[in-house]
C-alpha cells in the first residue's frame, strides 16, 4: 500500500499545486460573479451558482477515495484534509460575501454543528458505559434478533441512540466470525436509518416536522413502509448470514467458556432517558430566544445542550473504567466524526442555500419537476443520501405546502396537509429517512457505526464500495419496488 501511495505522489505530485489553486479559484470565480454584501442571508441561495458546491463534492470524494488509495496518509492527516476543504469554501466566500458569509458560517455552526456534535458525544459517552456482558454466539438467529431489537429501539431512542447502544454487542457476538462486514452494513440499513421512521425521536427530519406542526404520532402512518422494508431486509440478511455462517470454521466459533448474559453500567439508562427527555423538552417548550453573535438560538435548545453535556459527564464519572474497557471504548470514532463533519458542515452551506431557494435557486429545474408522491420520495431521498436529511426534508415539506396551499399560514396549511395530502408527506418522510442509508454520510450514525466497527477490526468497505456492493444493488432495488407499491 505504501508503494501505491508513493506512486500516487510521484504521478500527481507535480499537479498538486494546480489542483489546490484550481480548488480555490473555481468557487472564487463563481462568488465573484454573484457577490452582494448587502444581500439578506435568507436570499443567498438564489444567487449562488451550482459550482459553488464543488468544495462539498471535494470533501466527499476525499472521504471516498483517499482511504482507498492512501490509507496511511488518511489515518494521520484526515483532519487536515477536512480543514483544507473548509478553507477552500470559507476564504473566497468570506472575501466576496463578507458579513453575509460570516452570518451563514456562524449560523450553521451554532444552530447545527455544535448541537449535532453534542448529541452524538452524549449518546456515544452514555452508550459506551452500557456493557452487555456474557456469551452471545453470532449465529444467524441471534444476529437477526439483535437487528430486530435495534430497529425497534431506533424509533424510541433515535437512530443514533439505538446504533450506539447496539453496535458493540453485535460486534462482540460476531468477533470470532470471519464474515461480518455484511452484518454491520445491514445494521446501518436497519438500525441507523429505516428503524427511526415511526416517531419524531427516531430521526432529525421527523423531529423538524414535529416542530412545524406535524402531530407526534402522525408518523405511525409510516408503519406499513417500515414493516415492508424491514421484513425484506431482515429476510435478505438471514439468507446471506446463513450462507456465510456455513462457510465459517465451526470449532473456531466456540467460546472457551459460556458466560451468562449480564448488563453492567445499567445506571446509564437513566442518563439515556435524560437525553431523550431533554430532546423532547426542546421541541415542546417555548422559552424565547437569545442572540449569540447575531444568531437567534432558542433558550430551550441551549438548556437541552447543557443537559446532554451533563448526562455525558455523569456517565463518565459514575461508570467504572472496567465497564468501558469491556466495551473497548475509545474516543477515536467520535473525534473522526467531529473533524470530518466540521468540514462537511462548512462546505455544505452553498448546497443547502441553493436547495432552500427552491424555484429561485440553481436547482429550480429539479424543484419544478417534482409533482407526484413518487417524485417527492426520490427527490428528498437522493438529496438526503449526500446532504443533511433534516433541511432536505424541510425543503420538500415546505415545497408541498407552497404547492397545495399557497399563501396560507403554516399552522393551517400543515393541519390540512396531514389530512388531505397524506401520500405526499409520507413520501417526503420515508425518502429523507430511508435513503439516508444509501451512503456513509446520509445519516449521522452511519459514519459512527463504520468507525466503531473499524476500531473493532472489521474491514469496512470504502465509500464507493459500500454503495456499489451493498446500497445500490440492495436498497435501490428495494426503493424502486416500494415506489410502485406505496407512492
Adjacent-strand bridge partners of 296: 291
Q: Which residues fall within 8 angstroms of residue 419, CB to CB, at 6 or more apart?
A: none
Say yes or no: 91 and 152 in one domain: no
Rounded (5°) CA angle 194-200-204: 70
How far is it, in rounded angstroms, from Cα 353 to Cα 239?
A: 43
Say yes or no: 76 and 163 in one domain: no
Sign, Cα dihedral of 353, 56, 403, 413: negative
* Chain centre distance of CA 179: 26
Say yes or no: 69 and 149 in one domain: no
What averages of pLDDT result for each successive group of 10 residues across the chain (487 residues)?
Answer: 43 42 50 53 72 84 78 85 90 83 85 81 83 75 91 84 83 83 93 88 77 78 94 93 81 62 83 86 79 80 90 91 79 82 86 73 75 89 78 74 70 82 90 90 82 85 87 94 92
Residue 276 lies in a domain: no
How far is it, in rounded angstroms, from Cα 399 to Cα 383?
A: 15
Say yes or no: 197 and 90 in one domain: no
How far is it, in rounded angstroms, from Cα 324 to Cα 178?
A: 25
Adjacent-strand bridge partners of 262: 133
Say yes or no: 87 and 194 in one domain: no
Answer whether 392's CB lies under 8 Å from 355's CB: yes
Burial (CB count within 10 angstroms: exposed 0-12, middle 13-18, buried 19+), residue 55 = buried
Say yes or no: 232 and 353 in one domain: yes
Residue 179 lies in a domain: yes
The number of folded domains in the chain is: 2
Residue 167 lies in a domain: yes
Host domain of residue 434: 128-265+319-486
Say yes or no: 85 and 211 in one domain: no
What's residue 43's pLDDT?
66
How far is it, in rounded angstroms, from Cα 199 to Cα 220?
A: 7
Say yes or no: 213 and 339 in one domain: yes
How far is it, in rounded angstroms, from Cα 301 to Cα 370?
A: 33
Q: Which three three-digit cell numbers place residue 266?
A: 445499567
CA distances for 483 relative to 128, 376, 428, angstroms: 38, 11, 12
Residue 183 lies in a domain: yes
Q: How many CB atoms lie within 10 A of CB 98?
A: 14
How far is it, in rounded angstroms, from Cα 80 to Cα 111?
A: 24
How far is it, in rounded angstroms, from Cα 205 to Cα 389?
A: 6
Residue 261 lies in a domain: yes
CA distances for 279 relative to 211, 315, 434, angstroms: 12, 18, 22
Q: Which DSSP letter does residue 372 get?
A: S
To which H or E segment does residue 132 belong?
strand 131-133
Q: What is the DSSP string of 277-327?
A: HHHHHHHH----EEEETTEEEEHHHHHHHHHHHHHHHHHHHHS-HHHHHHT
Answer whether 272's CB lies under 8 Å from 157's CB: yes
CA distances for 126 relative to 136, 137, 193, 266, 392, angstroms: 22, 25, 20, 10, 29
Answer whether 64's CB lies under 8 Å from 464's CB: yes
How far is it, in rounded angstroms, from Cα 34 to Cα 50?
A: 12
Residue 118 lies in a domain: no
Q: What share of the chain is helix, strand, coil (3-state, %, to 5)?
A: 75, 5, 20
Answer whether 369's CB lies under 8 Å from 399's CB: no
Q: Which DSSP letter does residue 124 get?
A: H
To which H or E segment does residue 264 belong?
strand 262-264
Nearest to 23 by CA among 339, 463, 347, 462: 347
How far is it, in rounded angstroms, from Cα 66 to Cα 173?
A: 31
Residue 154 lies in a domain: yes
What's residue 427's pLDDT?
93
How far is it, in rounded angstroms, from Cα 26 to Cα 14?
A: 20
How far is it, in rounded angstroms, from Cα 297 to Cα 300?
A: 9
**DSSP-derived 3-state class of residue 389:** helix
CA distances for 141 relative to 69, 74, 286, 369, 402, angstroms: 37, 37, 46, 45, 48
Answer whether 152's CB lies under 8 Å from 190's CB: no
pTM listed for this prediction: 0.74
Say yes or no: 78 and 132 in one domain: no
Residue 49 lies in a domain: no
Say yes or no: 202 and 152 in one domain: yes
Say yes or no: 478 and 419 in one domain: yes
What's residue 194's pLDDT?
92
How far is it, in rounded angstroms, from Cα 105 to Cα 441?
A: 20
Say yes or no: 90 and 238 in one domain: no
Amino acid at each position: 500500500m505504501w508503494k501505491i501511495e508513493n506512486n500516487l505522489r510521484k504521478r500527481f505530485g507535480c499537479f498538486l499545486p494546480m489542483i489546490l489553486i484550481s480548488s480555490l479559484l473555481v468557487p472564487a470565480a463563481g462568488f465573484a460573479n454573484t457577490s452582494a454584501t448587502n444581500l439578506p442571508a435568507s436570499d443567498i441561495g438564489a444567487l449562488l451558482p451550482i459550482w459553488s458546491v464543488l468544495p462539498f463534492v471535494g470533501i466527499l470524494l476525499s472521504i471516498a477515495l483517499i482511504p482507498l488509495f492512501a490509507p496511511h496518509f488518511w489515518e494521520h492527516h484526515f483532519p487536515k484534509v477536512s480543514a483544507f476543504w473548509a478553507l477552500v469554501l470559507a476564504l473566497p466566500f468570506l472575501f466576496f460575501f463578507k458579513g453575509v458569509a460570516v452570518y451563514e458560517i456562524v449560523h450553521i455552526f451554532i444552530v447545527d454543528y455544535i448541537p449535532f456534535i453534542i448529541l452524538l458525544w452524549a449518546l456515544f459517552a452514555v452508550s459506551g458505559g452500557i456493557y452487555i456482558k456474557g456469551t452471545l454466539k453470532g449465529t444467524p438467529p441471534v444476529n437477526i434478533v439483535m437487528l430486530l431489537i435495534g430497529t425497534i429501539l431506533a424509533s424510541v431512542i433515535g437512530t443514533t441512540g439505538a446504533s450506539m447502544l447496539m453496535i458493540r454487542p453485535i460486534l462482540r457476538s460476531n468477533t470470532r466470525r470471519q464474515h461480518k462486514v455484511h452484518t454491520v452494513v445491514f445494521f446501518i440499513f436497519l438500525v441507523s436509518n429505516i428503524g427511526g421512521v415511526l416517531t419524531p425521536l427516531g430521526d432529525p427530519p421527523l423531529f423538524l416536522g414535529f416542530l412545524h406542526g406535524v402531530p407526534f404520532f402522525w408518523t405511525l402512518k409510516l408503519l406499513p413502509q417500515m414493516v415492508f422494508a424491514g421484513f425484506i431486509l431482515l429476510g435478505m440478511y438471514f439468507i446471506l448470514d446463513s450462507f456465510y455462517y456455513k462457510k465459517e470454521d465451526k470449532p473456531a466459533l466456540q467460546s472457551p467458556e459460556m458466560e451468562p448474559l449480564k448488563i453492567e453500567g445499567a445506571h446509564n439508562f437513566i442518563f439515556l432517558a435524560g437525553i431523550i427527555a431533554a430532546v423532547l423538552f426542546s421541541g415542546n417548550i417555548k422559552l424565547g430566544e437569545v442572540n449569540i453573535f447575531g444568531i437567534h438560538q432558542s433558550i430551550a435548545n441551549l438548556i437541552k445542550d447543557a443537559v446532554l453535556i451533563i448526562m455525558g459527564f455523569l456517565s463518565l464519572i459514575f461508570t467504572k473504567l472496567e465497564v468501558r474497557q469491556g466495551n473497548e471504548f475509545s474516543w477515536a470514532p467520535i473525534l473522526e466524526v467531529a473533524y470530518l463533519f466540521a468540514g462537511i458542515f462548512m462546505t455544505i452551506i452553498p448546497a443547502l442555500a441553493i436547495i432552500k431557494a427552491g424555484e429561485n435557486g440553481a436547482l429550480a429545474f429539479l424543484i419544478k419537476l417534482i409533482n407526484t408522491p413518487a417524485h417527492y420520495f426520490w427527490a428528498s431521498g437522493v438529496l438526503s443520501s449526500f446532504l443533511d436529511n433534516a433541511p432536505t426534508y424541510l425543503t420538500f415539506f415546505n415545497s408541498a405546502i407552497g404547492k397545495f396551499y399557497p399563501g396560507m399560514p403554516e399552522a393551517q396549511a400543515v393541519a390540512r396537509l396531514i389530512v388531505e395530502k397524506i401520500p405526499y408527506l409520507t413520501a417526503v418522510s420515508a425518502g429523507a429517512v430511508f435513503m439516508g442509508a444509501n451512503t456513509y454520510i446520509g445519516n449521522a450514525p452511519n459514519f459512527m457505526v463504520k468507525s466503531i466497527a473499524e476500531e473493532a477490526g472489521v474491514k469496512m468497505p470504502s465509500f464507493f464500495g459500500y454503495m456499489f456492493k451493498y446500497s445500490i444493488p440492495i436498497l435501490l432495488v428495494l426503493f424502486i419496488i416500494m415506489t410502485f407499491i406505496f407512492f
